[in-house]
Amino acid sequence: MQTQELPCVLMRAGTSRGPFFLREWLPEDEEERDKVLVGAIGASDLLALDGIGGSSSLTNKVAIVSRSTQPDCDVDYLFVQVGVAERSVDTRPNCGNMLSGVAPFAIEQGLVPARAGETTVRVYNVNTRSRIEVTVLTPGGRVQYEGDTVIDGVPGAAAPIRLNFLDAWGAVTGSLFPTGQRIDLIDGLAVTCIDAAMPLVMLRAADLGLSGRETPADLDANIALLERIERVRRLAGERMGLGDVSNSVVPKPVIVSEGDDADSITSRYFTPRRCHTAHAVTGAIGVATAFSLPGTVASGQALRPGVRTVSVLHPQGRIGVEVCVEGAGLDARIQRAALIRSARKILQGQLTVPAYAMA
pTM of the model as a whole: 0.88
Distance from C-alpha of 285 to C-alpha of 259, rounded to nearest angstrom? 16
Question: Of 89-93, 180-184, 274-278, 325-329, which has the strongest mean pLDDT?
Answer: 180-184
pLDDT above 70: residue 195: yes
139-165 burial, b at 16+ Cβ within 10 Å, e below that, comes to eeeebebeeeeebebbeeebbbbbbbb
Label residue 44 by pLDDT band (50, 70, 90).
confident
Distance from C-alpha of 312 to C-alpha of 204, rounded to nearest angstrom? 15
DSSP classification of residue 196:
B
DSSP classification of residue 47:
T
Distance from C-alpha of 336 to C-alpha of 251, rounded to nearest angstrom? 21
Q: How many CB atoms lie within 10 A of CB 265?
A: 25
pLDDT above 90: residue 223: yes
pLDDT above 80: residue 12: yes
Q: How many CB atoms lie within 10 A of CB 301?
A: 9
Label residue 1 by pLDDT band (50, 70, 90).
low
Beta strands per DSSP E along the chain: 4-13, 16-22, 61-67, 75-82, 89-90, 117-125, 130-138, 161-165, 184-186, 189-195, 199-204, 252-258, 264-269, 306-314, 317-326, 333-341, 343-353
